[in-house]
């Protein structure tokens, strides 16, 4: 809370108190969703133009721009405490990635409330905010700034990042010349090197080679040992089983399963095979 006295910020005091007055911060959930729903309005023509808006207005006809809406997430409520490793599973289009984006604050919820305590490092769709024109090192600084770290802090971490990725020799190459594997390795290394309180991963490990995936898992384990929260969206049940402690099964935007990872995966697989054989 830079440069703001508590006295002046009465309207915000509730959350301040919630964060500071608890006796045991270890028990405070890092992620708390209360009855969260998210609605997408499906714009048939995304570029609803001013021309059409004006015509609609002048001709006094019903604006027909927003065509249909759909609830990507419905009434989700759960809490995530320190040290939990969450695996989110579900079919395509179930809302897994949307949920992850909601946790990253990219999508604001339509209703309900999301509370996040701690800094979040998202790894969504490969590379969390890079500028392809910039060199590797510049991107480390740029990405670090978005995660809340100063240039000096990031330059100090650069050595560790290069050591993990083995990309030292490409440090001055613009990112647009990186292969997708290199891109992903860099993104993963930055997101884990800054030791975020909450790490969100969306199938990010998909493009890595076997050796890298092994290394990445090792690193994630280290991260979790420092009692951080990791949330992973994946279809790779084996690694989820191996890696996560708790599973969340999302179906049609609703939370249909929440519990120990093995039990949730069992239920999910049973339901899937049942549907196929039926």
Per CB under 8 A, residues contacting another protein are 1-4, 8-9, 11-12, 14-15, 18-20, 22, 24-26, 28, 30, 40-41, 43, 46-51, 53, 82-83, 101, 104-109, 113-120, 122, 124-125, 127-129, 131, 133-134, 138, 141-142, 145-146, 148, 150-151, 197, 226-227
Shortest distance, position 118 Cβ to another protein, whole Å: 4
Fill in the DSSP letter of residue 169.
Answer: G
CA 18 to centroid of chain Cα atoms: 24
CB 247 within 8 A of CB 85: no
Nearer to another protein, 119 or 239 (CB): 119
CA distances from 31 to 105, 116, 117, 120, 230 (A): 12, 5, 6, 10, 11
Shortest distance, position 273 Cβ to another protein, whole Å: 34
Nearer to another protein, 125 or 242 (CB): 125
Nearer to another protein, 77 or 150 (CB): 150
Nearer to another protein, 143 or 234 (CB): 143
Nearer to another protein, 78 or 266 (CB): 78
Shortest distance, position 266 Cβ to another protein, whole Å: 30
Shortest distance, position 240 Cβ to another protein, whole Å: 22
Shortest distance, position 263 Cβ to another protein, whole Å: 26
Shortest distance, position 272 Cβ to another protein, whole Å: 29
Taking Cα atoms as reference points, which of 225, 232, 245 lies closest to residue 204? 232
- Measured distance CA(176)–CA(198) in Å, rounded: 28
Taking Cα atoms as reference points, which of 221, 213, 217, 212 lies closest to residue 166? 212
- 115-136: b or e for each residue (b if 16 or more CB lie within 10 Å)? ebbeebbbbbebbbebeeebbb
Nearer to another protein, 146 or 159 (CB): 146
CA 31 to centroid of chain Cα atoms: 12
Please state whether beta strands 246-251 and 254-260 pair in parallel, antiparallel, or not at all (unpaired).
antiparallel
């Amino acid at each position: 809370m830079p440069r703001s006295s508590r006295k002046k910020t009465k309207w915000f005091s509730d959350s301040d108190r919630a964060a500071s007055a608890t006796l045991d911060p270890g028990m405070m959930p890092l992620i708390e969703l209360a009855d969260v729903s998210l609605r997408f309005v499906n714009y048939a023509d995304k570029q609803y133009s001013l021309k059409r808006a004006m015509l609609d207005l002048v001709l006094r006809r019903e604006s027909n721009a927003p065509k249909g809406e759909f609830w990507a997430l419905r009434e989700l409520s759960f809490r995530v405490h320190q040290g939990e490793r969450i695996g989110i599973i579900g079919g395509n289009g179930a809302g897994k990635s949307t949920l992850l984006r909601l946790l990253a604050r990219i999508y604001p919820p339509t209703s309900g409330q999301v509370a996040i305590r701690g800094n979040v490092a998202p790894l969504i769709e490969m590379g969390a905010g890079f500028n392809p024109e910039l060199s590797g090192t510049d991107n480390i600084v740029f990405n670090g700034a978005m995660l809340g770290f100063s240039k000096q802090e990031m330059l100090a971490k650069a050595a560790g990042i290069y050591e993990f990725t083995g990309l030292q020799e490409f440090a001055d190459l613009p990112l647009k010349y990186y292969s997708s594997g290199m891109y992903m390795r860099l993104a993963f290394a930055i997101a884990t090197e800054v030791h975020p309180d909450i790490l969100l991963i969306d199938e990010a490990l998909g493009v890595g080679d076997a050796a890298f995936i092994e290394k990445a898992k090792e690193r994630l384990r280290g991260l979790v040992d420092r009692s951080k929260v990791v949330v992973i969206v994946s279809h790779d049940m084996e690694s989820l089983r191996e890696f996560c402690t708790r599973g969340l099964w999302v179906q049609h935007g609703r939370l249909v399963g929440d519990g120990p990872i093995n039990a949730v995966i069992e239920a999910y697989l049973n339901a899937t095979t049942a549907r196929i054989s039926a």
